[in-house]
Amino acid sequence: MSCFKCIIPVLILVLTTGCPSSNTEKISVESQKEVKGDLQGQITISGAYALYPLILKMSEDFMALHPGVKILVTKKGTGEGITDLLGRKSQLVMISRPLLMRKSMKAYG
């Protein structure tokens, strides 16, 4: 019973602070206009099919804010993504399963 006394205030706090107001949206739109900076370069991301739609949307939004940045996102599966990362064909990898470290992979460290 004492556990529930702790959970209820925390739940109320999370629900009240986690809900954005319409004012917050206006502020974020205004700040996005100011974000465009001097970032330039290319990032390659490969990996899991399950994460592809999310990462693609995030990369499109980022490229809209930073026109000098090009992000290439490819869906190959978690295993191929890890292989690309170890082979330095991509800088980031989308992983949709627990990552286990094996002795043979420590050499790539």
pLDDT tens by residue, 12-46: 655 556 555 555 555 555 555 555 668 899 999 99
Longest dimension (CA), the chain: 56
The answer to whether 37 and 67 are in contact (CB under 8 A) is no
User: What is the reported pLDDT for 56?
Assistant: 96
Show me where the domains of the chain are located.
39-96
Q: Which helix (H) or strand (E) holds 43?
A: strand 41-47
Residue closest to 47 by CA, chosen among 21, 72, 73:
73
For all residues of the chain together, what is the average pLDDT? 78
User: Which superfamily is assigned to 39-96 in CATH?
Assistant: Periplasmic binding protein-like II (3.40.190.10)
User: What is the reported pLDDT for 17?
Assistant: 61
